[in-house]
Structure 1
């Protein structure tokens, strides 16, 4: 099973703003985002999927639906693919958030939720639920890749879960806007390998 995770393109939000679960617009058009995505996947010789999975947030969903329509694939949203909910920090500048709150979060990155949104543990459990289900669903796909348009946080957590790494080790892995991560699962033994990261 090939799992291709694609980060959404650039958004119309100032740099340094926390926009996790917020529904923010793309900086460009979904048509341009889908065309760039198709070009990148063609360059990496990725076969067209039969279904495109996506976060329900518009910065992902609009690109996923446009791309799926262009290649004749189905498209399905899943709320478990949405970015982490940062609660009261959403749409605030990171440098405007109280230092004490950021310190409390850093001191217990897994369980703290000073913003009132999701903890990393809650976020990870949500993504784990999706990954478990998609591995089962993939058994019915005839060697076509599972392509997913989602967010950096989701992609890092999926990589950590698949590769058996602590999530805390993967949170700072570089991941550009519109980049892809390619994971491959050996159906015989269930082991994952990382084919490409930040491609």
Structure 2
């Protein structure tokens, strides 16, 4: 499953260059790994959205299992570790970053959907009329007075663009300068050589589903049908492609959905 989105604007992370009369984008490959936080210590059937509920087990224990799963999936390259600010994500991401000896970046754009007046209420206690109103407009509806799914998708794409640029910039700074090249040599190298980077984020089911719907050009309703367990891994690959009209675009493909420890791959839908 794959889709192409513009390289300028939402979700873009292509550094483009104009060479001669052609607009050419640097060839980049992005390995995007989204991890849902582990199980939380709250009774089933409670809407907890942006509320800061705690984990069921120590974050370090969960992080070891997630790290082993990423190793089994051969996730490698320069790893940027990002997290929602809520404790159920941030503590796990910090433990992962510590294992990999790298910083953990806390990002407000990765926080779960704000359910407003529904927060910490039992789903069964919420007025059916409000639930039906939300179901009738999953994209933009907000009968709870909180945040819409579209708003979550927008800020998740904003984070992704920022994270990709940050990671590629870090890689360029860490790469030693090599032998000077002529303009024609630089042009050839830019068009043929791919930069590859890995971005890992520990976040929430809502954020993962909304971002996936944008990357794969699916509806929010279709995204909500995908199962997504606590501690599961979802993996995407983004690759820039040349387009006549815009110069470059990034094509996203889903490599694995709801991957759990001990499973190399599971059905993607």
Q: Normalising by the residue count of structure 1, what TM-score does the alignment of the two structures yield? A: 0.94
Tell whether the 8 Å contact from 2:77 to 2:196 is kept in structure 1 after alignment.
no
C-alpha RMSD of matched pairs (Å): 1.5
Deviations 1:122-154 (A, max 9, x none): 222222222232343343346341000001111
Match of 1:177?
230
Deviations 1:72-125 (A, max 9, x none): 011101000001000110111111111111111112222221111001222222
Q: Which runs of 4+ in 1 moved over 4 A?
A: none
Query: Aligned pair 1:164/2:224, yes or no?
Result: no
Rounded to whole Å, the distance in 1 between the matches of 2:133 and 2:79 is: 44
Deviations 1:45-91 (A, max 9, x none): 11264321000000000000011011101110100000100011011
SS at match of 2:63: helix
Match of 1:105?
134
Query: Aligned pair 1:195/2:267, yes or no?
Result: no
SS at match of 1:124: helix
Change (3 A) 1:51 1:128: closer
Query: Aligned pair 1:149/2:149, yes or no?
Result: no
Rounded to whole Å, the distance in 1 between the matches of 2:123 and 2:80 is: 36
Change (3 A) 1:96 1:4: same
Tell whether the 8 Å contact from 1:184 to 1:193 is kept in structure 2 after alignment.
yes
In terms of Rg, which structure is larger?
A: 2
How many pairs align? 199
Rounded to whole Å, the distance in 1 between the matches of 2:163 and 2:105 is: 12
Tell whether the 8 Å contact from 1:87 to 1:118 is kept in structure 2 after alignment.
yes
C-alpha displacement of 1:27: 0.3
Match of 1:23?
52
Which of the numbers 94, 97, 107 marks the counterpart of 1:65?
94
The answer for unaligned runs of 5 or more in structure 1 is none
Rounded to whole Å, the distance in 2 between the matches of 1:49 and 1:5 is: 16
C-alpha displacement of 1:157: 1.2
More strand by share: 2
The answer for unaligned runs of 5 or more in structure 2 is 1-29, 172-194, 242-248, 260-269
